[in-house]
């Protein structure tokens, strides 16, 4: 199994504070994640002043205000903040990534050292945005929250028409936290089969169980929000992992990777030595004299398994003992 790409999603959980952003980078590095991801966008270019908050945003922030007012408190005031974030990621030794949320942020981020474009679920129907993404030939990771299969197909076809062929998809449920019953992990292998691409999960559920299960179902990428503290103000903290949980997630994913195997049912190297210990052999149930007819009355099966296999039980029954056997002794037979 190829190594799962683990994206630690800092998002806007820095709340516009550079020191918090750097602490999040440190946490992502310490967890063993491959990438730490942020979100780039100028609030007034992302949302109009008339746009309302999502229900989860009002619930999680406990403040009812416009989306614009909320986003102003979460984003950095200038694009240039992400140069400092990118530089700090290089210093720490973890890959930097940021999701652009409007065309101008695509243009800005194209000048930074990023190996991927990460397209958020809300932009999957935004053709001017997708066209701008397609101008820079980087691999694309496309989240598919709130989408039908037909909408995913349209977005993928549009990107390919404009020269982007290296596309990965993320199953996603755009709710924070996402209800377990809405996750639909079974769509991961379905999308992989339909589009012939890598498919992963952008996981908004509480805990690490769903992400781990997704890996077992073939997810190639896991993206998960994390925070320094779930009680910090902001809409996404409550649906995020805290530092130890993020470490636990990375550990669990790597363990599942090792456990996936090759699909061939065979004896593993670690268990081979236990065959003789755990399996059974045909054993004398009581003392047996040479020439005595072997039967269910004088034979049984017991450990260890280094004698005549019980698979030969019906071949042994009715034959004569080739020598005297004491109770619990391994039976021997002629191999003629």
SS3 (DSSP) at 171: strand
Query: What string of pLDDT tens digits covers the 336 residues of the chain?
Result: 589 999 999 999 999 999 999 999 999 999 999 999 999 998 888 888 898 887 888 887 778 888 777 777 778 989 999 999 999 999 999 999 999 999 999 999 999 999 999 999 999 999 999 999 999 889 999 999 999 999 999 999 999 999 999 999 999 999 989 999 999 999 999 999 999 999 999 999 999 999 999 999 999 999 999 999 999 988 888 889 999 999 999 999 999 999 999 999 999 999 999 999 999 999 999 999 999 999 999 999 999 999 999 999 999 999 999 999 999 999 999 876
Q: Which DSSP helix (H) or strand (E) runs through 7?
A: strand 5-11
Q: What domains lie within the chain, and their CATH numbers?
A: 5-260 (3.20.20.70), 267-336 (3.90.1210.10)
Phi/psi of residue 300, nearest 5 degrees: -150, 180
- Sort 278 into a burial class: Cβ within 10 Å, 0-12 / 13-18 / 19+: exposed
Q: What's the CA gap between 45 and 68, in Å, rounded? A: 9
Cβ atoms of 256 and 215 within 8 Å: the answer is yes
- Residue 1 has a pLDDT of 55
For residue 234, the cross-strand partners are none
What's residue 55's pLDDT? 82
**Strand 281-284 with 299-302, pairing:** antiparallel
């Amino acid at each position: 199994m190829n190594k799962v790409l683990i994206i630690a999603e800092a998002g806007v959980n820095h709340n516009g504070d550079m020191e918090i952003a750097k602490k999040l980078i440190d946490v992502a590095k310490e967890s063993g994640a491959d990438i730490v991801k942020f979100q780039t966008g100028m609030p007034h270019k992302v949302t109009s002043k008339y746009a309302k908050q999502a229900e989860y945003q009002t619930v999680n922030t406990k403040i009812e205000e416009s989306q614009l007012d909320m986003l102003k408190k979460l984003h950095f005031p200038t694009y240039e903040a992400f140069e400092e974030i990118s530089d700090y990621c290089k210093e720490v030794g973890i890959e930097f990534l940021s999701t652009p949320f409007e065309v101008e942020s695509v243009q800005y981020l194209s000048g930074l050292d990023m190996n991927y474009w990460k397209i958020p679920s809300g932009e999957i129907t935004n053709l001017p945005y997708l066209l701008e993404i397609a101008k820079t030939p980087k691999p694309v990771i496309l989240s598919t929250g709130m989408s039908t299969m037909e909408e995913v197909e349209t977005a993928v076809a549009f990107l390919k028409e404009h020269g982007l062929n290296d596309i990965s998809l993320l199953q996603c449920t755009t709710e924070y936290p996402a209800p377990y019953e809405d996750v639909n992990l079974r769509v991961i292998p379905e999308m992989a089969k339909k589009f012939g691409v890598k498919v992963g999960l952008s996981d908004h559920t509480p805990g690490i169980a769903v992400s781990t299960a997704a890996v077992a179902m073939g997810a190639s990428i896991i993206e998960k929000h994390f925070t320094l503290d779930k009680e910090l103000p902001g809409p996404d903290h409550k649906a995020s992992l805290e530092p130890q949980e993020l470490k636990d997630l990375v550990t669990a994913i790597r363990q599942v990777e090792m456990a996936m195997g090759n699909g061939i049912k065979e004896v593993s190297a670690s268990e081979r030595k236990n065959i003789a210990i755990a399996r059974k052999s045909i054993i004398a149930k009581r003392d047996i004299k040479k020439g005595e007819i072997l039967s269910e009355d004088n034979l049984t099966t017991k450990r260890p398994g280094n004698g005549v296999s019980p698979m030969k039980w019906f071949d042994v029954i009715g034959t004569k003992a080739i020598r005297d056997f004491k109770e619990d002794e391994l039976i021997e037979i002629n191999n003629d």
